[in-house]
Amino acid sequence: MGALTLSKVTKSFGKTEVIKGIDLHVAEGEFCVFVGPSGCGKSTLLRMIAGLEDVSAGSVTLDGRDITNEAPAQREIAMVFQTYALYPHLTVRDNMSLALKQAGESRARIDQATARAASMLALEPYLDRRPAELSGGQRQRVAIGRAIVRTPKLFLFDEPLSNLDAALRVATRIEIARLHRELGATMVYVTHDQVEAMTLADKIVVLRAGVVEQVGSPMELYNNPANTFVAGFIGSPQMNFLKSAALDGRGETTGIRPEHLELSREGGRIAGTVSHVEKLGGETLVYVRTELHGLLTVRLFGEHDYAVGEPVHLTPDAARAFHFGPDGQRLR
Ligand SMILES: Nc1ncnc2c1ncn2[C@@H]1O[C@H](COP(=O)(O)OP(=O)(O)OP(=O)(O)O)[C@@H](O)[C@H]1O
């Protein structure tokens, strides 16, 4: 249940085409994450799947059924928003059960579904509270609970964690991953956050300006980016881009991740000066200013005492380098 197919899906606002003919298949039970820079169309695409936005051309099918023109309520899809969208005057219990009540489900069925969702999300102590009496993390769990009780074929999440603080984001992220395992449901998730995309996704879809740049598992995208855009987008801190002419001359640009640049005080391929150091506890990021390649980032394991202004050398691990042509496409 919950196989989703987009065929040549296009969206225009007036004369501006913001989604440009997207083809995508999300398999039953898959966790699919849309990433891409601000304004690339992630939310618009998700809203079209939900039926909250008309599709200008193309089709959306769910388990083989064409839902392109169906009303949102008919689609058997539940959406969780960044802003929770809870009813302030209703208790947690009533917020979670409202959709089932409106669908005319029996009292017994409603109670059972609400109890199950409350238990999965550890919300039992809060069932009689109203949203204003909950923390942000608890409110988002209620919003997720409201989606679960409906047992939809497909869950959609639009940046559900972005209003939470760092610790709660991690906890809720782990909770969403656990829910996905327990429910075995198909989920499509929009985020800006690298770590969320890498840790939650079976499949990441990288979007740019309404077009799919690459689709693959997190490690496929990390190890095998198709172009400089995907290479720069997946991985944090960002991949370094060096001028190939000054290295081995393969292609136009050489990509090397911060963890694959060796830093030394005595000798190496590229000379530079330490411009900034960030000690993160378990790792240290050293930013090195170079004449030919600009500012490069090095990631070191553990704590290091490089000082700003210190002359250093860098050596790329040639076996881990990526080569790109003048058009930004990867050379194989
Ligand atoms: N109702 C609308 N009318 C006109 N243009 C719109 C409308 N909604 C979105 N857009 C435009 O469509 C493009 C895609 O917007 P969308 O919100 O889908 O991007 P996004 O990738 O989700 O961005 P963000 O990460 O910032 O939320 C943007 O250029 C946006 O300005």
Claim to verify: residue 217 and residue 80 sit in the same structural domain: yes
Same domain, 137 and 191: yes
What band does 194 get if pLDDT is binned at 50, 70 and 90? confident
Measured by CA distance, the residue closest to atom 26 of ligand 1 is 38
Domain boundary (188, 211, 229) is at 229
Return the pLDDT at 254: 97
* Domain carrying residue 295: 237-324
Contacts of 39 (CB under 8 A, 6+ apart): none
If asked whether residues 210 and 128 sit together in one domain, one would say yes
Q: Is residue 294, in this structure, part of any structural domain at all?
A: yes
90 lies in the same domain as 213: yes
Q: 227 - beta bridge partners? A: 329
Q: Are residues 215 and 243 in the same domain?
A: no
Q: Is the pLDDT of residue 275 over 90?
A: yes
Share of the chain above pLDDT 90, in %: 80
**Residue where one domain finishes, among candidates 229, 261, 277:** 229
Q: What residue type is assigned to position 45 of the chain?
A: L
Q: Which atom of ligand 1 is nearest to the CA of 159?
A: 27
Predicted confidence at residue 171, as pLDDT, reads: 85
Distance CA 40, CA 63 (A): 27
| Residues 67 and 182 occupy one common structural domain | yes
Q: Is residue 276's pLDDT more than 90?
A: yes
Residue nearest to atom 12 of ligand 1 (CA): 18
CATH of residue 247's domain is 2.40.50.140
CA 321 vs CA 6, 28, 148, 175, 250: distances in Å:
35, 36, 44, 36, 10
DSSP SS3 for 34 = strand
Please name the residue whose Cα sits nearest to atom 16 of ligand 1: 41
Give the burial string for 63-80 (b: 16+ CB within 10 Å, else e): eeeebbeeeeeebbbbbb
- 289 three-class SS: strand
CATH number at residue 206: 3.40.50.300
Task: State the distance from the centre of ligand 1 to the C-alpha of 78, rounded, in angstroms.
Answer: 21
Residues 27 and 147 in one domain: yes
> Tell me: the pLDDT tens digits for 121-177?
889 999 999 999 998 889 989 999 999 898 899 999 999 888 888 888 888 899 899
pLDDT per residue as tens digits for the range 46-63: 999 999 999 999 999 999
Q: What's the structural domain count of the chain?
A: 2
* Residue 42 binned pLDDT confidence (cut-offs 50, 70, 90): very high
Task: Report pLDDT for 103.
Answer: 86
Same domain for 135 and 203, yes or no, is yes
User: For 62-97, how does the pLDDT look when each residue is reduced to its tens digit (9 = 90+)?
Assistant: 999 999 999 998 999 999 888 878 999 999 999 999
Would residue 329 count as lying in a domain?
Answer: no
Q: How far is the CA of 41 from the centre of ligand 1 (A)?
A: 6
Estimate to the nearest angstrom the gap between the alpha carbon of 302 and the chain centroid: 28
Tell me which amino acid residue 270 is: I
When pLDDT is averaged across residues 279-293 and rounded to a whole number, the result is 96
Cα dihedral across residues 249, 252, 257, 261: positive or negative:
positive
Answer for the pair 272, 312: CB distance below 8 angstroms, yes or no.
Answer: yes
Q: What's the pLDDT tens digit per position in 199-211?
A: 999 999 999 999 9
Residue having the nearest C-alpha atom to atom 31 of ligand 1: 39
- Mapped onto helix, strand or coil, the DSSP state of residue 60 is strand
Q: Is the CB of 48 under 6 A from ligand 1?
A: no
Q: What is the CA radius of gyration of the chain?
A: 23
33 Cα: distance to centroid of ligand 1 (angstroms): 17
Whether residue 111 lies inside any domain: the answer is yes
The confidence score (pLDDT) of residue 7 equals: 98
250, part of any domain: yes
Taking only the tens place, the pLDDT of each residue in 18-37 is: 999 999 999 999 999 999 99
Same domain as 162, residue 213: yes
Q: Are residues 296 and 204 in the same domain?
A: no
**pLDDT reported for residue 317:** 95
Task: For tokens 């202004």, name the residue.
Answer: 309
> Mean pLDDT over all residues of the chain?
94
Residue 249: is it exposed, middle or buried by C-beta count within 10 angstroms (0-12/13-18/19+)? exposed
The predicted pLDDT at position 307 comes to 96
Residue 280: pLDDT over 90: yes
Distances 204 to 33, 48, 78, 121, 163 between C-alpha atoms, Å: 5, 18, 20, 26, 22
Residue 174 lies in a domain: yes
The answer to ipTM > 0.85 is yes
Q: Same domain for 276 and 161?
A: no
* Of 164, 197, 229, the domain-final residue: 229
Dist CA 214 CA 203 (whole Å): 10
- 332 lies in a domain? no
Whole-angstrom distance, CA of residue 313 vs CA of residue 223: 25
Query: Hunting for tokens 């411009």 — which residue is that?
Result: 275
- Answer yes or no: is 331 within a domain: no
Residue 35: strand pairing partners: 206
Give the largest Cα separation in the chain, rounded.
Answer: 75
213 shares a domain with 85: yes
Question: How many whole angstroms from 47 Cα to the centroid of ligand 1?
Answer: 11
Indicate whether residue 41 lines ligand 1 (CB < 6 A).
Answer: yes
